[in-house]
Chains A and B, each alone.
Chain A
Amino acid sequence: MRGCESNRRFSAALVFLVALLLYAASAQASGSPIPHGTLQLIAENQWIAIGHPFYLGLHFQLERGWHIYWVNPGDSGEPPRVTWQLPPGLSPGVIEWPVPRRLGTSTIVDFGYEDAVTLIVPVYAEISLAAQPLARLGAEIKVLVCREMCIPGRTQLSLTLPIKSQLPAPDVRTRELFAAARKDLPRPAPQNWKFSLDDAKDSFVLAANVAPQITQAIFFPILEAQIDNSAPQILQPLASGFRLTLRKSDRLLKPIERLKGVLVLSGNRACLIDVPVSKRGAQKNNSGSGIHEIQSSKEEPRK
């Protein structure tokens, strides 16, 4: 009797201990090794709420000086690639990429992240999803980690979360990482900011009518081989905003219809922009240099 009781107590203690260890392991979640760093799969909520979208995150922690790449890696390198292994009824969205940094020297410029970054991904949970105590969410990640040289890595990550019909509740353990990741996301440009883009022979000239005084602007193109990544981007502040001259890539052999990317302005404002190439500018292009084009387009309203 006594023995039985103590046994029961012992197994209860054991269950508690195992649970505690599991919790500690998932809370610390030191991450899987990747070349010169670690990678961790994190969830924003404590459980998957049926019918509610939620976010997963890939938290990269790199050794000092090592970097990974943005969706457009720039002149060299490769972005991380994820293959999700999710239970039926869960479907992943696309990665929401934080604002990258320019990395490199004068002739080769890459776009990426040094030290640490969290890539967040929305996941859609269908209404038909069945509740279950432990659903396994898996991801296979291929990532290129570089410093002076590049090392490809591949790792398999997983996470278990209950699926419940209850409303979602945030996981305090990952709150800061998700908040930091969201802070670094580019936002849509304010509605009253107007952008236009002229095709000026060897360059694109991005003109912006924006309220604040702009003293710094860097453009990161989403697509490869549109602009010359290593060419200086020439900013011309204007009373009404600014003009940014972006040298075209030598590999851009056909005209483009739109230029899409992230514009980082002074004061750490980062906007997502998607600007159509002005047809008028492209026609004028045949008859004169970029400077003339801008002047003539400025003069036009006087006519």
Chain B
Amino acid sequence: MKRSTLYLMPVTVVICIAPLLVAAAKVGQAAPDFTATASNGKTFRLHDYRGKYVVLEWHNNGCPYVGKHYKSGNMQRLQKQWTGRSVVWFTIISSAPGKQGYVTASEENEYLVKMQAAPTAALLDPTGEIGHLYDAKTSPQMVVINPQGIVIYDGAIDDKPTTDLSDIAGATNYVNLALEQAMAGKQVEMPATRPYGCSVKYPGSTH
């Protein structure tokens, strides 16, 4: 008994540090797995959603670029539209405690109600572990994963990198484009773009 516990220890250590050593997510490659606690208290593991499309949305409620898509209702519309088509949508908050956009579970739940947001869940990532796993640079950065668990899109939400609400109407939405093309069995035309927005407020971030 004792012997087997000792035997398992190094394995556990390796598993714990593994996410930090794995190279960040890349388009065309397997989406790194993660487990996270959502604001609703439930635990979600990415791997459990094999067979479905998954959207990851990096979020910071104080960022004006995020504000553009929430005040206009654009993000909520996308969430409703795609979860209505069986897509799993995770809003991810990688702001560290004390940084812009950091929220407790109850604060996030209030925000979701107030904004009438409709993700599958809002995942809390205060250590920035999931953010680093996907090398998330900005909010809102968007990642689309296909049912085989491959990253098929990573980048901006659309082609208008501004804070102006009026720019949403004429923008090409890259998340829609990726999901529509992939679901139609087509090649995703724009698989990677520069994500725009505010830098993700990881622990130790200064700007």
Measured CB to CB, the residues of A under 8 A from B are 67, 75-78, 81, 103-105, 107-108, 110, 142, 144, 146-152, 224-225, 250-253
Contacts and interface: CB of A to CB of B under 8 A. Distances in A.
A76 B62 CA distance: 15
B192 A110 contact: no
Given A150-B64, A253-B27, 19 more contacts: A75-B199, A76-B137, A77-B198, A81-B162, A105-B205, A107-B132, A108-B202, A108-B205, A147-B207, A148-B100, A148-B201, A148-B206, A148-B207, A149-B62, A149-B63, A150-B198, A152-B64, A152-B163, A253-B191
Nearest to B99: A148
Nearest to A228: B135
Given A142-B162, A144-B163, A250 B24 contact: yes
A107 B135 contact: yes
Contacts of B163: 78, 144, 152
A156 B201 CA distance: 31
B199 A110 contact: yes
B198 A225 contact: no
Interface string B95-131: 0000110000000000000000000000000000000
A37 to B, nearest CB: 16
A150 B202 CA distance: 15
Interface in B169-207: 191-194, 196-202, 204-207
Interface in B7-28: 24, 26-27
Nearest to B29: A250
Nearest to B64: A152
B206 A253 contact: no
B162 A225 contact: no
Measured as residues with beta carbon below 8 angstroms from the partner, the interface class of chain B is 20 to 34
Given A75-B199, A76-B198, A76-B199, A225 B207 contact: no
A77 B138 CA distance: 9
Contacts of B204: 105
A149 B198 contact: yes
Contacts of B191: 253
A252 B155 CA distance: 12
Contact of A75 (B138, B155, B161, B201): B138
User: Which of B194, B200, B206 is packed against the most chain A CB atoms within 10 Å?
Assistant: B194
Contacts of A252: 192
B202 A105 contact: yes
Contacts of A104: 199, 205-207
A-side interface mostly: loop
Nearest to B203: A105
Contact of B154 (A75, A78, A151, A251): A251
Contacts of A144: 64, 163
A110 B27 CA distance: 22
Given A105-B207, A108-B137, A148-B99, A225 B193 contact: yes
- Indicate the member of A76, A78, A107, A224 with the most B CB atoms within 10 Å: A76
A150 B201 CA distance: 11
Contacts of B137: 75-76, 107-108
Given A76-B198, A76-B199, A251-B194, A105 B162 contact: no
A107 B24 CA distance: 11
A151 B202 CA distance: 19
A104 B200 CA distance: 11
Among A105, A142, A147, A252, the most chain B Cβ lie within 10 Å of the Cβ of A105
A25 B26 CA distance: 55
Which of B62, B63, B64, B201 is the most central at the interface, judged by chain A CB atoms within 10 Å of its CB?
A: B64
A268 to B, nearest CB: 23
Contacts of B199: 75-77, 104, 108, 110
Contacts of A107: 132, 135, 137, 202
Contacts of B162: 78, 81, 142
